[in-house]
Structure 1
Amino acid sequence: MPISGFPEWLPPQRLIEQYVLDKIRATFELYGFAPLETRAVEPLDQLLRKGETSKEVYVLRRLQEDPSAPGGDDALGLHFDLTVPFARFVLENAGKLQFPFRRYQIQKVWRGERPQEGRYREFLQADIDVVDRDTLPFHYDTEMPLVIGDVFAALPIPPARILVNNRKVCEGFYRGLGLADTEQVLRTVDKLDKIGPEKVAALLVETAGASDAQAAACLKLAEISASDASFVDAVRALGVDDPLLDEGLGELVRVVEAAAEHAPGLVVADLKIARGLDYYTGTVYETQLRGYEQFGSICSGGRYDNLATSGTERFPGVGISIGVSRMLGLLFGRDALAVSRPVPTCVVVALPNEELRPACDRIATALRRRGIATEVAPTAAKFGKQIRFAERRGVPYVWFPGVEGAADSVKDIRSGAQVDADPATWEPPAADRHATVSAG
C-alpha cells in the first residue's frame, strides 16, 4: 500500500532519474566538485539550532529502546537537508580538508511536511557547496548559478530561471527604514507568494512593529525585479540609505552580470526572494521551471557565513541544492519526460532450444564485454513469441544464433531488417546502445 509522501518510481521513471543524476554528477565534476556522502542521522540539537521547525524533523527511535543507554536514540533525527550535516562534517574534518573545499552531495533527505504534488516527505537532493576558512571570496556566489544553469541546459526539461536576491539588500533596506527586527521582516516577506501582499503588510505591522508606511515600503522593495543591473536604480528611487544595503546591491550586481555573460536570460534579480532558513547571510537563490512557476522553486540555496563555527574558527560557505525528486515529480505528473525503452536491454538473444543456452550465454557475454546490454530469452518458445517478449519491453534487437553452420544474425524488430552479425564486432547505432531520455 503506498504511503503518502514517499515516492516509488516505476522502472522507466527510475531510468529517467538515473539519467538525470548522471548529468548532474557529470556537470558538478566538470566544475571540480568532489563527491561526499554524510550519515542520514544527526543529533537533534544540531538539526534544530538553525531555524528549522521541530515538527518537520523525523526522530529516530528503536522499538525496544534501552533507557539506561548513554545518548538515547531519541536524541537523533533524520536530516532535513544536506547543508546542516555538511557543516558538521567540515567542522569534524577540517584538519583533513583542503580549503576552499568544493563538494557535491546527492542523497535522500526527510522532512515531515504535508505531501502534495512535487513535495514529498522523503526526497532526493543534489547539492554543491564551497566552504573556506575564515573568509570566502564572493566570486563563488557568482559561480553557483552558472553550474546550475549548465546542469539544466544538459537536461531535456523546460528552460530554468534562477531568481537571485541578497539578504544584505533586504536587511539594509529594513534597517534604513528604522525596522529593528529584520529577521522577522524577512520571514514575513518570504510568505508573499503564499498569502499575498495585503496579509503580509498586516503581519508586518502585527509581528515586526512596522508602521503602515514602513510595511508599504517593504512591499515596494519586494516588487522590484530585473534581469540586469537596473534594479539598483529602482531600489535607490525608494529613498532609503544604509551601508549594508549598498554592500548587498554591489554583490547582487556582480551575480546578475556574471550570469548574463555566461547564459543570457538565466538569472533574474528578484527582491522578494528571502529563503525561510535563518542561516543565510547574503546571496540567496531560487529556481523555477518555465510552465511550472506555480509550484515554486525546484532548486535553491545561498550564502551562509556562520553555519559552521567552532570556537574562534569560522567556515563560511555558499551552496545551492537541486530538489531532484521535486523536479521529477512535477515533470512526471505532466508526462513531460520520456524514455526510449523501459529497460536497459539493447539485445535479446533468442534461444532455439534449452541445449543451446550455454552457447547463447556466450553470445550475451561477448556483447556485454563491449558494453552492449544483453539478456538471453527466458524460454525456448517459438521465435515469434520470443520476438514479442523483446517487443513488449521495448528492446530494439533480437539476436539469432547460427545453427548447423549458419552465421549468427541480428534483427531490428522495429524495421524488420535482419543482417548477419558477429558478437565480437557487431555494433548497434549509438542512439540504440542505451535507453535515451527526451522531452515527452
Structure 2
Amino acid sequence: MASKVTPISGFQEWLPTERIAELIVLDTIREVFELHGFASINTRAMEPVDRLTGQGEDADKEIYGVRRLAAGPDDTGDVSLGLHFDMTVPFARYVLENAGKLTFPFRRYQIQPAWRGERPQRGRYREFIQADVDIIDEGRLPDHFEGELLLVVADVFSRLPIGDYQIHVNDRKICEGFYLGLGIEDVTGTLRIVDKLDKIGADGVQKLLLDAGCTPKQTDQCLALAEIRSEDTGFVEQVRALGVQHELLDEGLAKLAAVIEVANEHAPGVVVADLRIARGLDYYTGTVYETMLTRDPGYGSICSGGRYDALATDGKRTFPGVGISIGVSRLLGKLITEEGLTASRETPVAVLVAVTDEDSRPESMRVATALRSRGIPTLVAPKATKFGKQIQFADRRGIPFVWFPGEDGDEVKDIRSGDQVPADRATWDPPAGDLRPSLVVPDVSSSGRKPNDRK
C-alpha cells in the first residue's frame, strides 16, 4: 500500500554532492581540532531531564523528552530522559563520571548531533550537528585557554570557504560587575534581557529593563555598555568613561584585554570585543564568544561558546572549563542551501573500470582491487554496454577517469580532456586533486542564484 511522503521541517537531508561537501567540512574541522591537540569523545544522546533543565531562560521548553510509545499510563520512567540540546552539558557529566581516568587539563573535541524543540526557521533546526572543542581542568583553569580557543576557530575557518567573519568576544564578568556597580540586584535577569538586543532592539530592551525595576539611569548605562565595540583593547577606556566601578568589572576588563591581545597577535582582524554579547545559557561565567558572517550578520552566530566554572561539580571537586562550538548545520544551511556550495562530484569514485563484456568482468574487478589496495576509490561499470555509454555513466557522476583493461596492456582515459594513455594498475595514480572530491564554491555575487527551498 502506497503512503504519502510528508516532509518534516527542521531537519537537513542532502543530495549526494551536498553530503560530500558536508563531509569535507566535517573532515576539515576534525583535522584542525586534532592539530591543536584535542582528543575525540562521543557521548550518549540522552541525559536526565533534571540535568538538562535550568541552564537558561529557554532551555526547559527546548528539550525533547523521550518516552517509549508502548509505555502505559503509569509508566512515566522514561519521561525523565531528554535529548541533549548542546554538547557542553553532557560533556560536563562525562567528566564527572570519568574524572579518575582523564588527564587534566583535558582537551576534547566532539562532533555529534543535538536536538532542540524550537520552531524551525532560517538557520535553526530541530536536529543539527555541532563541532565542539573544550578544555577542562580540575580545581582551576588558567585564563590563557580562553584566548587559545579563538585561534582554533580561526584556523578552522581559514581552511573553509566561509568568507569574511568576525568572532565577537565579551566577558560576562564585565557585565555582571558593571550591573553590580550600578546597584542592580538581578544580574542574571539583566543579562538575559540585554542578550535580546539583536532580537528586539534597544527600545525593546529598554522597556524590559524598566519593567524589571531598573531606573532610567541604570537602563541608559546598561545600553551604553552594550554599545561598546573595539578591535583592540580600547574598550577598556570606553568602559571606564562610563564611571562605574566594581572589582568584578576590573577583573573582567583585564581578562578580555588579554584575550584580545592574543587574538590580534596570532589571528589579526578576526576578533572584536563586543560588550553586548552575553549568551543565553546561565552556566557561562567568564569569556563568551559569538561568530558572525560579515556578509550576513543577521543570519546569527555560526560559532559560539564561553567559559563555565561550576557546570561540572560533584560537590567536592569542581572542573572549570571553556569551550567553543561550531554550528555545522547552521553554517551549511547558509553555504549549501542558500549559496549553493557543493562538491566536484556526487561520488568518492575517481576511476570507473570499464567492462568489455560480462566474460571479462573478473579482470575488471582485478583492476579495481589493485587500485583500491593503493587507496584509489574505484568502481567497476555495472553493465557491459558500449564504451561510450560507460563513459557517459562516469561523466554524469563526475568520475574523472575511465580505465580500459586490455590483453596488450591497460589504458586510462581522462574523460574531461579526452587524453588516453597506457597505465599500470600497480603504479598509476591520479593527480592529487582528482583523488577525492573537492568543494565547489559558487560565485554568489554574480550568479544570481536563488536560495534552495529545501530544508
SS in 1 for 2:335: helix
Q: Which of residues 33, 44, 48 in structure 2 aligns to 1:43?
A: 48
SS in 1 for 2:168: strand
Residue 151 of structure 2 is aligned to residue 146 of structure 1: yes
- Normalising by structure 1, we get a TM-score of 0.97
- Distance (whole Å) between structure 2 residues aligned to residue 303 and residue 258 of structure 1: 17
Aligned to 1:407: 409
Offset from partner CA, 1:218-256 (integer Å, 9 cap, x none): 111111001100011111111111110000000000000
Q: CA deviation at 1:7?
A: 1.1
Q: CA deviation at 1:338?
A: 3.0
Aligned to 1:335: 339
- Quick one: which amino acid aligns to residue 60 of structure 1? V
- Distance (whole Å) between structure 2 residues aligned to residue 379 and residue 155 of structure 1: 38
Q: Give ranges in structure 2 of 5+ residues lacking alignment.
A: 1-5, 443-455
Contact 2:52–2:59, Cα closer than 8 Å, also in 1 = no
Aligned to 1:167: 172
SS in 1 for 2:135: strand
Offset from partner CA, 1:122-176 (integer Å, 9 cap, x none): 0000001111111111011111111000011111221221000000000111111
SS in 2 for 1:314: coil
SS in 2 for 1:309: coil
- The total of aligned residue pairs comes to 436
Q: After TM superposition, which residue ranges in structure 1, 4 or more long, deviate above 4 angstroms?
A: 66-69
Aligned to 2:67: 61
Aligned to 1:370: 374
Contact 1:152–1:159, Cα closer than 8 Å, also in 2 = no
SS in 2 for 1:310: coil
SS in 2 for 1:107: strand
Contact 2:308–2:321, Cα closer than 8 Å, also in 1 = yes
Aligned to 1:27: 32
- Distance (whole Å) between structure 1 residues aligned to residue 19 and residue 53 of structure 2: 33
Q: CA deviation at 1:26?
A: 0.9
Aligned to 1:314: 318
Contact 1:228–1:256, Cα closer than 8 Å, also in 2 = yes
- Distance (whole Å) between structure 2 residues aligned to residue 236 and residue 288 of structure 1: 27
Aligned to 2:303: 299
Q: Which of residues 121, 127, 134 in structure 1 aligns to 2:132?
A: 127
SS in 2 for 1:144: helix
> Taking every aligned residue pair, what percent have the same amino acid on both sides?
61
- Distance (whole Å) between structure 1 residues aligned to residue 161 and residue 225 of structure 2: 35
Offset from partner CA, 1:358-407 (integer Å, 9 cap, x none): 100000011111111110111011111111100111111111111xx322
Contact 1:42–1:78, Cα closer than 8 Å, also in 2 = yes
Aligned to 1:428: 430
Aligned to 1:234: 238
Deviates more, 1:264-273 or 1:152-161: 152-161
Offset from partner CA, 1:298-354 (integer Å, 9 cap, x none): 100000001011122111110000000110011113335231111111111111000
- Normalising by structure 2, we get a TM-score of 0.94
Residue 84 of structure 2 is aligned to residue 82 of structure 1: no
Q: CA deviation at 1:54?
A: 2.0
Contact 2:17–2:344, Cα closer than 8 Å, also in 1 = no
Contact 1:341–1:393, Cα closer than 8 Å, also in 2 = yes
Aligned to 1:180: 185
Q: Give ranges in structure 1 of 5+ residues lacking alignment.
A: none
